[in-house]
Structure 1
Amino acid sequence: MLLHGRLREYRDLFRLGPVLLAWTVGHGAMWFLMPNIVGAIVGDVVLVGVIISLPAVVAMLVDLPIGDLTDRMGSRRLLLSGLFALGVLGASLSYVSNLLGLLAFMVFLGLLYQLVYIPAKAYVMDVSPLGKSSEYLGFEMSFIMLGLALGPIAAGMIISKGLSPNLAGSLLYVFSCFSALTLGVLLFRDCMPHECFTKAIREVLVEDKVFLKELVEYARLKSTGLSILVLTFTFTFYDGMVWTIQPLHYLSFTDSALEGGLILSSFVLPFILFDIPGGRLADRFGRRKILMFGLALGGVSSIAFSMASTVPQLMLSAFIATSGLAFAWPSMEGILTVKTDLGGRGSVIGVWSTARDLGYVLGPICGGLLAKALGLDRVFMVLGVLLLAVMAFTFKIRE
């Protein structure tokens, strides 16, 4: 009876969670393979970082209008359309063999990714009850990170059987997107009324002037909003650098793609284990306190990762570093949720996603530059120092 009550309480999350899990398995596999796919075409670690950042550049251009469209059209139609289009795009990865094809693939990936991510995030913010925003966002992140953890392992296993990175990534991404689409059609429902497509597009372009409504909504958050943008940028800068550098870094320690996938999954697994407990602790004891604890733990452990010399040491320090971020991330998102109004959260998420995507733009680029200048190991030391430095912005946050 108690279990049934708990499942009923979280039924809105379980309408979306399996969809995100199925999608992110393929997404994690593709991003584990992408640095090697790009490297085989361009042959330079700096160019790898630049090209890996291209989807985030495109995403920054569409974050605000997609956020506004989410408020007007509802999450379901945008999310399902994005999954279908990403599945079609994934099928083309096996044919990418030159720079022009690679650039086109990355541009469309950046555009279509936001059609899934922004509606999903806005939906969770809308259904989270008062006092449980961090916990609900922790649940959502756990589904996403479980998929991202399984993806590199699945990719490593397939690569070890002799498939090329392009074909392995294509097969996994197509399967995951269409599996997620099927689950979305069966399970996912909107919780807010929505407008027709043509009316929503017209109002975004004419009445809201594409960007102004979103910026006005976010400006109401004042210093707290600015601090959240800085912290969001830092987290995704960290994440983008890890996913760019680690698939190259592990080759200094092992030739096994499976071990490389396990190391990268160690950067993801804590989000599965600790996002929900971290969200509950933040709701109960204060989001800013948990946020500061997470930044401190992540910073110190990232520095330890840069000094590791064996695969087990790499896995352990990666796990502890991301454990800190797993506590910090839902705390930050919980603050954003309680500060925004129901019905306008798509607009706020659009602005917030711009800072998020800027981190994914600059993280891979700076990662490539730092790796060339300092070496792959030192990149993680820089990341650790950065996490410790941005703790200063938590003092500007008002819950």
Structure 2
Amino acid sequence: MSQQVGMKTIFTRSKLTALLTLGLTEFVRGSLLFFILPIYIRGVLQFSPSVVGYAMAAHYALDTSLRGPSGWLTDRFGQRKVAVSALCIGWIGLVLIAKFRFDWSIIVGSALLGIGMAAIWPAVVSRVTGDLPAEANATAMSGVMMSWLLGVGTGTVAMSFTLGRDVQSGFITLLVIWLGAIFLGSLSLQPYRPEDHHKKRLGFRNIVSQVYSVRLLLPGIFVQTFIMGIIMPVFVLYTQYVLNVSGQTYSTLLVSGGATTVLLQLPIGRLVDRFGFKPFLMTGFGACAVLLVFLVRAHSLPLLFLGIIGVGASYAFILPSWSSVLAKSINARQRAVMWGVFMTFEGLGMAIGPLVGSWLWEQFRPSTPFFFAGLVLVVMMTFYGLVPIERGFASTSQHTSADGQG
């Protein structure tokens, strides 16, 4: 049991502003990709639906592939310079989408927006977790997860309720919000300081060595988003075509599960910092595996809501406890680049998951993706229950101390 750090120490005004910056960018992404673009491309421009797919693929390809390099640049040149520059590039992408009515401008604009998102995540995470003791990592990362979930969730829902099919008003709103994120990022993110730069720690061999030292964590990083990727595209099919649930009820299901995850983030994060990550991580993996199987056995609406709320609660156990593990395993002088590498593995999980989920749905039974996801979670629970990943914490601390002495 650890002595807890106060919330005011963890979430200073500048760190809360950085979290707001992340939330605003995720609001724009959620609004644009999941609501405005499909309506604009199909309903206004009369383009093929494939343009939506190409735009999203271009966005996530750059977002995923550039998080590691963005983290390296953040460690090398400072959070403010890299993130604000990338956000300006993202704003140009939004202008391309809003002003020019070509398929190429939408695809290129979405890709440029991906550059902005690739840079803001390592910058904000390193800002929020920087200068904190290990006993505060889970709470700090809970704040990051809340900003992400609230941003993308409210962006999608708010635009659908307030704007309807008026996409031009939507574009103007998103451009203003993105400018607000640029302004807040320039205030809250840390500038480059020459004394913080240590060339040796950013060398390619040094980074590869650091990644190798945390290799046991990479499967867990991949699996969390891989499971989400498997379930999300087939859950909507399962509820509508197997359970005959209406689209409105499906939206309510998603909101209830997401709200549960958001509301429990900080309380669970505080508990993880106080009692350690392992019991919460094991509980989260195990409960999520059981509840995914429960979902395909739930043939009444109350049971379906109970199952999806349970899955949301399970992820509220997994996210802060796993984030605590990652934060304690990172050398403080390679914080941004290592978070970028971790996020790249997360992106790969989200990219591959839908392909696996759709294939399992088509080749076997509608319930197969849920059973497969549950099995993967059980394997992960067993693996991380047996592997002493805590040894990496002490190793990282020693490396940090050695760097400091050098």
Q: Specify the TM-score bucket, using the shorter chain as the normaliser.
A: 0.7 to 0.9
Closer/same/farther in 2, CA of residues 6 and 366 from structure 1, 3 Å limit: closer
- Displacement of 1:343: 1.8
Q: Deviations over 1:83-103 (max 9, x none)?
A: 333233234445798875565
Closer/same/farther in 2, CA of residues 285 and 53 from structure 1, 3 Å limit: farther
2:32 to 30, 33, 51: 30
Aligned partner letter, 2:318: A
- Counterpart in the other structure of 2:395: none
- Counterpart in the other structure of 1:147: 151
Closer/same/farther in 2, CA of residues 322 and 285 from structure 1, 3 Å limit: same
CA contact (8 A) 2:123 2:189 kept: no
- Counterpart in the other structure of 1:218: 211
The CA distance in 2 between the partners of 1:35 and 1:249, in whole Å, is: 25
- Counterpart in the other structure of 1:182: 183
Closer/same/farther in 2, CA of residues 153 and 99 from structure 1, 3 Å limit: same
Closer/same/farther in 2, CA of residues 95 and 314 from structure 1, 3 Å limit: farther
Moved more, 96-105 or 333-342: 96-105
- Counterpart in the other structure of 1:294: 284
The CA distance in 1 between the partners of 2:23 and 2:233, in whole Å, is: 22
The CA distance in 2 between the partners of 1:333 and 1:231, in whole Å, is: 11
CA contact (8 A) 2:138 2:273 kept: yes
Aligned partner letter, 2:143: F
Q: Deviations over 1:12-33 (max 9, x none)?
A: 5323222222222222333433
- Counterpart in the other structure of 2:221: 232
CA contact (8 A) 2:63 2:114 kept: yes
The CA distance in 2 between the partners of 1:144 and 1:177, in whole Å, is: 15
Moved more, 113-122 or 342-351: 342-351
Aligned partner letter, 1:287: F
The CA distance in 1 between the partners of 2:40 and 2:372, in whole Å, is: 24
Closer/same/farther in 2, CA of residues 265 and 77 from structure 1, 3 Å limit: farther
The CA distance in 1 between the partners of 2:374 and 2:151, in whole Å, is: 25
Aligned partner letter, 2:292: S
The CA distance in 1 between the partners of 2:260 and 2:26, in whole Å, is: 16
Q: Deviations over 1:115-150 (max 9, x none)?
A: 111111222221332311111111221222122232
The CA distance in 1 between the partners of 2:363 and 2:101, in whole Å, is: 29
Aligned partner letter, 1:262: T
- Displacement of 1:7: 3.3
- Counterpart in the other structure of 2:3: none
Moved more, 176-185 or 112-121: 176-185
CA contact (8 A) 1:278 1:328 kept: no
Quick check: which has more Rg, 1 or 2? 2
CA contact (8 A) 1:137 1:330 kept: yes
Gap regions ≥5 residues in structure 1: none
Gap regions ≥5 residues in structure 2: 1-5, 391-406
Aligned partner letter, 2:177: S
SS in 2 for 1:131: helix
Q: Which has the higher contact order (CA 8 A, sep 6+)?
A: 1
Q: Deviations over 1:344-383 (max 9, x none)?
A: 1123223212211211221232233334334665434432
CA contact (8 A) 1:227 1:397 kept: no
Closer/same/farther in 2, CA of residues 9 and 105 from structure 1, 3 Å limit: closer
Closer/same/farther in 2, CA of residues 189 and 324 from structure 1, 3 Å limit: same
TM-score normalised to the size of structure 2? 0.78
Closer/same/farther in 2, CA of residues 368 and 25 from structure 1, 3 Å limit: same
Aligned partner letter, 1:358: L
TM-score normalised to the size of structure 1? 0.79
CA contact (8 A) 2:25 2:151 kept: yes
The CA distance in 2 between the partners of 1:388 and 1:168, in whole Å, is: 46
**Between the two proteins, what is the percent identity of the paired residues?**
21
Q: Deviations over 1:54-86 (max 9, x none)?
A: 544434432332111111222222222333332
The CA distance in 2 between the partners of 1:36 and 1:18, in whole Å, is: 26
1:74 and 2:78 are equivalent in the alignment: yes
- Counterpart in the other structure of 1:120: 124
The CA distance in 2 between the partners of 1:312 and 1:191, in whole Å, is: 51
RMSD over aligned CA atoms reads 3.7
Q: Deviations over 1:223-262 (max 9, x none)?
A: xx22321111011112334454456666544554x54443
The CA distance in 2 between the partners of 1:314 and 1:103, in whole Å, is: 37
Aligned partner letter, 2:11: Y
The CA distance in 2 between the partners of 1:373 and 1:38, in whole Å, is: 33
Closer/same/farther in 2, CA of residues 93 and 326 from structure 1, 3 Å limit: farther
The CA distance in 2 between the partners of 1:105 and 1:215, in whole Å, is: 32
Closer/same/farther in 2, CA of residues 212 and 169 from structure 1, 3 Å limit: farther
Aligned partner letter, 2:208: L
Aligned length: 377
CA contact (8 A) 2:33 2:56 kept: no
Closer/same/farther in 2, CA of residues 124 and 6 from structure 1, 3 Å limit: closer
SS in 2 for 1:336: helix
CA contact (8 A) 1:215 1:351 kept: no
SS in 2 for 1:391: helix
Q: Deviations over 1:286-334 (max 9, x none)?
A: 2122111111111222222334446655444222112112211221121
